[in-house]
Amino acid sequence: MKRKDKLPTTSNPWKLQSSKMVFENPWLSLHEDEVINPGGGLSHYGKISFKNLAIGIIPLDENNNTWLVGQYRYVPDCYSWEIPMGGGPLNIDPLDSAKRELKEETGLIATEWQELMRLHTSNSVTDERGLIYVARGLTQGETEFEETEDLLIQKLPLDEAIERVLSGEITDAISVAGLLKLKHLL
């Protein structure tokens, strides 16, 4: 094991030499960066930049019930149960995006909103930032699914959702982080 005699710096030790866009679509861009790494060597880094914030919402009623959304996720090729979530454009108030996503996916409208946490979704390859809200004071309305959404909605006790995290049934990182933090705070 290599030992360093000094503490790591909190300033950026990476030196960008060049950056080339490799791919772009309406949701993300992929850059290949040539950098000098902290040890002084030349490295190539792939960086995914998202054009939206990741927005997660944990709706919570007066009886500590919550709602999960189930859908087949194309990239990991599996069915996934998650908290309601979606993308929020960077130039729009994240709370407005959270309200829109909650209504779209569950039909719920909330009168009370609390920011629960901020996180980086996978900071070794992406600059994506996420925000998770708790929504209370809920009224049920109609869903407004997007064309790409084929969702199942399930209302269940928060403790059951936590058990699904602990058993490994819920694996989405934003859902896991948000549900565990909320449980810790209650």
Average confidence score pLDDT of the chain: 91
Given pLDDT bands bounded at 50, 70 and 90, which one contains residue 1? Answer: very low
pLDDT tens column, 34-67: 998 888 999 898 999 999 999 999 999 999 999 9
Give me the catalytic one of 149, 160, 163, 169.
149
102 three-state secondary structure: helix
172 three-state secondary structure: coil
Least confident of 1-5, 34-38, 97-101, 140-144: 1-5
The answer to whether residue 5 scores a pLDDT higher than 90 is: no
Residues 107, 140: contact at Cβ < 8 Å?
A: yes
Rg (CA), the chain: 19
Tokens describing residue 58: 């944990």
**pLDDT for residue 83:** 98
**pLDDT for residue 137:** 97
Most confident of 13-17, 43-47, 121-125, 134-138: 134-138
From residue 83, give the alpha-carbon distance in Å to each of 17, 42, 107, 180: 40, 41, 14, 12
**pLDDT for residue 6:** 60
Q: Which amino acid belongs to residue 71?
A: Q
**In the chain, helix, strand, coil percent, each to 5?**
20, 45, 35
Burial class (CB in 10 A: 0-12, 13-18, 19+), 124: exposed
Average pLDDT over residues 139-160: 87
pLDDT tens column, 86-108: 999 999 999 999 999 999 999 99
Spatial strand order in the sheet of 129-140: 85-89, 52-59, 129-140, 108-120
**pLDDT for residue 12:** 85
- In degrees and rounded to multiples of 5, residue 169 shows phi and psi of -75, -35
- The answer to whether 128 is a known catalytic residue is no
